[in-house]
């Protein structure tokens, strides 16, 4: 049962993320699961072609996971900006222009317990991954490699790995699920802590 003072906009955002994750992301992840990469030289053309097929399939699977992280991050950012602008109409311009740290600070004007209780590390990771995937190699990808190297743990270490940091990023299904659950928990906390 939804409490009388619940924030329906926040709870709708939570439901939207949940539906996206359950109806779209989970089935796609199950359908396109990566296997181990094939490394080393092939002894004949058939072995070479099979290795190429497997590695191409794996590249698609990893790209799908990066893309889903980008979609989750972009949707969460849009929802957050819209919600903050509605809750803080006098701060609308600031909400539209500020970066991630500024958005998080604006939460304190509504209810500081949202930020304290939610899984902020997972939201920060989602934000960083989204930025890196959106912009490619650059400051976001470099910072992410330093702060969250586990996104490259599954990558076979190649001498040219840093040339395409984002392309070599591996987001596993558990990491993606943690990010989706962090967004849902954020909206649950925001919905339950409505202050008008």
Please report whether residue 70 resides in a domain: yes
Distance CA 95, CA 124 (A): 18
Question: Would the pTM count as exceeding 0.85?
Answer: yes
Q: How many domains does the chain have?
A: 1
pLDDT reported for residue 181: 95
Determine contact, residues 143/165, Cβ cutoff 8 Å.
no
Q: Give residue 70's pLDDT.
A: 96
pLDDT for 152 equals 81
Identify whether 43 is part of a domain. yes
Query: Could you tell me the mean pLDDT of each successive run of 10 residues in the chain, 196 residues long?
Result: 73 95 97 88 92 92 96 96 95 94 90 74 91 90 86 64 81 94 92 58
How many C-beta atoms lie closer than 10 Å to residue 33's C-beta?
A: 11
Residue 47 belongs to domain spanning:
8-190
Asked if the structure places residue 142 within a domain, the reply is yes
The pLDDT assigned to 37 comes to 82
Please check whether residue 171 is in contact with residue 66, taking contact to mean a CB–CB distance below 8 angstroms.
Answer: yes
């Amino acid at each position: 049962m939804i409490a009388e003072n619940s924030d329906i906009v926040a709870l709708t955002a939570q439901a939207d993320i949940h539906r996206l994750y359950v109806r779209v992301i989970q089935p796609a992840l199950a359908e396109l699961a990566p296997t181990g990469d094939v490394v080393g030289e092939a002894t004949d053309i058939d072995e070479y072609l099979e290795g190429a097929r497997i590695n191409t399939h794996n590249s698609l699977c990893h790209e799908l996971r990066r893309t889903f992280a980008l979609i989750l991050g972009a949707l969460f950012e849009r929802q957050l900006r819209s919600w903050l602008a509605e809750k803080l109409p006098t701060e609308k311009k600031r909400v539209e222009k500020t970066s991630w740290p500024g958005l998080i600070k604006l939460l304190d004007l509504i209810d500081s317990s949202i930020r304290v209780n939610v899984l902020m590390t997972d939201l920060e990771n989602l934000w960083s991954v989204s930025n890196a995937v959106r912009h490619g190699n650059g400051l976001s990808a470099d910072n992410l490699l330093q702060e969250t190297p586990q996104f490259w743990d599954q990558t076979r270490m190649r001498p040219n790995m840093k040339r395409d940091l984002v392309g070599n990023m591996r987001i596993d299904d558990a990491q993606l699920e943690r990010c989706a659950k962090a967004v849902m928990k954020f909206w649950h906390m925001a919905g339950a802590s409505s202050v008008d």
